[in-house]
Chain A
Amino acid sequence: MITFTINGKEVRGQDGWTILEVARWNGIEIPTLCHHGALEPYGACRLCVVEVNDGKRSRVVISCMYPIRPGIQVQTESPRVANVRRWIIQLLLDESPESPKIQELAKTFGVTPSRFKKAGVDFACHLCGLCVRACQEVVGVQVLTFGNRGLRKAITSPFNAASKECLGCGTCTYICPTGAMDQVFQRVKG
């Protein structure tokens, strides 16, 4: 057992657990977007950030991947954490102001659209990669991939074409938090 603190409260977990797992076990809320208990963590949305002090220095890390270590002090609401979280929600909200999932987050954290708000898309993909991982890890085929990079990054299939491998199982559309997968699914399943 590894003992450490979250927001000053002593908590315990087993070797190999992440901060997020221990936090949830103890009923401490940390927002997430790209995390799913059944899939390998991917660490892309950064919404689950916490501040960790290991006695030497204090860093902002992602709770969904950071392995717990004895004696660390974790803060889930520190000013640095709140700043990162606020900005991620702000950026997502301005990018896809009609997305229900993002609206919900914005409401919880009191974020409102800014002057940079885009014309609304309700099914905007946030590149959380849940579909890619579910297809690979749960279904066991590799139909979906990330195409391109940077601002042009998008979910696609190899060569952007209908895939022979696709079983049409719909696991990707089921797991997609935004509904963006529906469109890609139509193209991929052929």
Chain B
Amino acid sequence: MQITSIDDLQKAKGTGLNQLYPDKPKILVGMATCGRAAGAQRVYDLLHKKAQQEHWDGVVEKTGCIGFCYKEPLVDAIFPGKPRITYGEVTPEIAGALWEELAAGRIPEKQIMARLDMDDMVLNGGPRKFFKGKLKGFLAKTPRYEDLDFFKLQRHIAMRNCGFIDPDNLLHYIARGGYFPLYTTLTTMTPEEVINVVTFAGLRGRGGGGFPTGVKWASCRKAQGWPKYVLCNADEGDPGAYMDRSLIEGDPHAILEGMLIGAYAIGSSEGYIYVRAEYPLAVKTLQRAILSAREAGLLGENIFGTGFNFDIKLNLGGGAFVCGESTALMASIEGKPGEPRAKYVHTVDKGLWNRPSNLNNVETWANVPVIIGKGADWYRDIGTEGSKGTKIFSLVGQVKNVGLVEVPMGVSIKDLVMQVGGGVPENREFKAIQIGGPSGGCIPKEHWDLPIDFDSLWDAGAIMGSGGMIVMDNSTCMVDVAKFFLDFLIDESCGKCIPCRLGLKRMREILEEFSAGKGSLADLDEMESLSEAVKDGSLCALGGSAPNPVLTTLRYFREEYEAHILQQKCPAAVCKELITYTINPELCNGCTACVAECPQDAITGDKKKPHSLDTSLCIKCGACFEVCKFGAVAVA
């Protein structure tokens, strides 16, 4: 289907809406990578097969990630005139039983997580209600999405289509208002107007630095040189972070449309998406989206008959973390080693192949169509003074609700962890949150009222980064945490410049001494001055921000460092050199469970009599501690 006019677009929207909300039942399976990891493919195959075999008059469809990753696999049922129902933890076995009910036209109560009374649509001029009148029975008691602690504070703008549409279906995207902002842009706005709207909306880059997007576009528009390139950074190398992957897998056209609008504003006709090859589903989804946009005439020449041309190529990255850095990314697209270079001449002036280039992150691009579609004022209303809009975080670590969350900027750490995340698991206590990826910072409980926005995090010594958040409880040792992140960064350093290559190694060596109870208070000062040298001296922001985990733990948990150095104690009982395992004879009943576990034969004793542990043989593996059901093994 060619889409070259507003009539075509309206027609596509009509068809799309009929597909999104047909007059028959529909079953949706969440099939992003995290859903697949939990078994969603088997669930989908089973439901799909059943529907075919039984000639079911309904639709089974895949969709992206709505964020409930801790309850996967997710299956949704949408019956005409009924709320949309979400079922969680639908294993293939449960899916079979669920099918029997749904196929018979019944909505079962088991495994229900939440209901949705209407589809907000974000872009499409007002919500679409799923039913009229009042709900009865268990449906009335089923919590709505917005009643769930996990969702209450959330607001899905970048993720607007994730979990609603089939990412491979262009018409679904158009049905929910997609490509209308592009039409508006190309037919009613000058490039300068587009830039002004994005600038006034206050959009800041979601890839880490928080640079004002409109300002970057304006510099690139002004830059001399041709052609100009519009680039999308989908390298996403932070361990545990998958916001960008999820956006691509759930709503690829949002990114393409964002880039199209950006290209028009900047004056570019060539785009690249740099995506890591280790994201096979994301790569495929993007390939299909680009193809279908091309077929429809939404990429290519003379888009909407306006004379505007733009096309996008995919570039698969080898997956090095440092290739996410802008100059390394551009070198990599050029086919050179993915190494950063000095940026004293900005990439907006001389970037890819020394031409003016504008690079933005996946999530940044996904916000752009909404800003055009809803207007800068609408967008400015969300978020804080200096940080507008929402941010997607991947919330992982010691929290009950692990998942992807999109919240307005300015939500406090406490609300994010305790409400959205559901708090830390029982019998544990929140200790700190690590924000901003490997080179972010650890923020302690005392500061958990801190609003999460670019500037507050910066002042606290952390960074927004791409949005990784790791919750830590009181079983975490902060010296150990600093070691963990430094190890990652040492591994990922490209090795070009000395402060990063050798400086991080030295920081790691000093930390190793601390965790063995060696070193002195003077070494803490040395550590700080070395951290400053690495920050100031490094070529790129990998080295420039790598000391953050050390500096923030030093800033907020200095007494923990001092306990290691001065008392040879690890308060969280993690650092092996500083802990001892002992058996408390009062609690030990001689069950011998630990004897079998101990690889060192360090534990001896008669059956049903208190055992003893020979500390000189013990290698502190903790096996006895884990296995003892009576709490008789103590660690200190």
- Chain A interfacial positions (CB closer than 8 Å to B): 43-47, 49, 60-62, 65-67, 80, 83-84, 86-88, 91-92, 94-95, 116, 126-127, 146, 148-153
- A87 and B494 form a contact (CB under 8 A): no
- Chain A residues with Cβ below 8 Å from B539 are 43-44, 46
B496: interface (CB < 8 Å):
yes
Task: Report which of B501, B503, B538 forms a contact with A150, defined as CB distance below 8 A.
Answer: B501
Question: Bound state CA distance, A149 and B505, in angstroms?
Answer: 14
Classify chain B: how many residues form its interface, as a range.
20 to 34
Task: Report which of B342, B491, B494, B498 forms a contact with A88, defined as CB distance below 8 A.
Answer: B498
- B499 and A84 form a contact (CB under 8 A): yes
Question: Bound state CA distance, A66 and B495, in angstroms?
Answer: 21
Among A126, A150, A152, max chain B CB count under 10 A is at A150
Question: Bound state CA distance, A84 and B502, in angstroms?
Answer: 12
Given A43-B342, A149-B320, A87 contacting B537 (CB threshold 8 A):
yes
- B495 and A46 form a contact (CB under 8 A): no
- How many whole Å from B483's CB to the nearest CB in chain A? 16
- Chain A residues with Cβ below 8 Å from B505 are 151
Question: Bound state CA distance, A84 and B498, in angstroms?
Answer: 10
Given A84-B537, A91-B503, A126 contacting B498 (CB threshold 8 A):
yes
- B529 and A46 form a contact (CB under 8 A): no
- A127 and B495 form a contact (CB under 8 A): yes
- A150 and B495 form a contact (CB under 8 A): yes
27 residue pairs of the A-B complex, CB under 8 angstroms, read: A43-B539, A44-B497, A46-B497, A46-B498, A46-B537, A47-B498, A60-B536, A61-B344, A62-B342, A66-B342, A80-B536, A83-B529, A84-B533, A84-B536, A87-B499, A88-B499, A88-B533, A88-B537, A91-B503, A116-B509, A127-B495, A127-B496, A146-B495, A150-B490, A150-B493, A151-B493, A153-B494
B532: interface (CB < 8 Å):
yes
- B337 and A151 form a contact (CB under 8 A): no
Q: Is the interface of A mostly helix, strand, loop or mixed?
A: mixed
**Contacts of B442-499 to chain A: CB distance below 8 A:** 490-499
Top 10 nearest A-B pairs by Cβ distance? A153-B495, A87-B533, A84-B537, A91-B502, A60-B536, A150-B495, A150-B493, A46-B537, A43-B342, A84-B533
Question: Bound state CA distance, A101 and B492, in angstroms?
Answer: 29
Among B498, B502, B505, B509, max chain A CB count under 10 A is at B498
Bitwise, B326-355 to A at CB < 8 A (1) or not (0) is 000000000001000110110000000000
- Chain A residues with Cβ below 8 Å from B495 are 127, 146, 148-153
- A146 and B344 form a contact (CB under 8 A): no
Additional 12 contacts, C-beta under 8 A, given A80-B532, A87-B533: A44-B539, A45-B498, A66-B342, A67-B344, A84-B533, A84-B536, A87-B529, A91-B503, A116-B509, A127-B495, A150-B491, A153-B495
- B341 and A87 form a contact (CB under 8 A): no
- Chain B residues with Cβ below 8 Å from A95 are 502
Among A62, A91, A92, A146, max chain B CB count under 10 A is at A91
B530: interface (CB < 8 Å):
yes
B576: interface (CB < 8 Å):
no
Nearest A residue to B494 by beta-carbon distance? A149
Question: Bound state CA distance, A146 and B496, in angstroms?
Answer: 9
Question: Bound state CA distance, A94 and B498, in angstroms?
Answer: 13
Among B506, B509, B532, B533, max chain A CB count under 10 A is at B533
Bitwise, B309-322 to A at CB < 8 A (1) or not (0) is 00000000000101
- Chain B residues with Cβ below 8 Å from A116 are 506, 509
Question: Bound state CA distance, A43 and B496, in angstroms?
Answer: 9
Nearest A residue to B492 by beta-carbon distance? A150
Nearest A residue to B340 by beta-carbon distance? A43
- Chain B residues with Cβ below 8 Å from A67 are 344-345
**Contacts of B206-250 to chain A: CB distance below 8 A:** none
- Chain A residues with Cβ below 8 Å from B498 are 44-47, 88, 91-92, 126-127
Nearest B residue to A45 by beta-carbon distance? B498
- Chain B residues with Cβ below 8 Å from A43 are 341-342, 497, 539
Question: Bound state CA distance, A151 and B499, in angstroms?
Answer: 12
- Chain A residues with Cβ below 8 Å from B496 are 44, 127, 153
- Chain A residues with Cβ below 8 Å from B503 are 87, 91
**Contacts of B154-172 to chain A: CB distance below 8 A:** none
Nearest A residue to B491 by beta-carbon distance? A150
- A151 and B533 form a contact (CB under 8 A): no
Question: Bound state CA distance, A47 and B502, in angstroms?
Answer: 13
- Chain A residues with Cβ below 8 Å from B337 are 146
Among A44, A47, A61, A127, max chain B CB count under 10 A is at A44
- Chain A residues with Cβ below 8 Å from B534 are 87
- How many whole Å from A67's CB to the nearest CB in chain B? 6
- How many whole Å from A8's CB to the nearest CB in chain B? 21
- Chain B residues with Cβ below 8 Å from A151 are 490, 493, 495, 501, 505
Nearest A residue to B530 by beta-carbon distance? A87
- How many whole Å from A39's CB to the nearest CB in chain B? 15
**Contacts of B8-61 to chain A: CB distance below 8 A:** none
- Chain A residues with Cβ below 8 Å from B502 are 91-92, 95
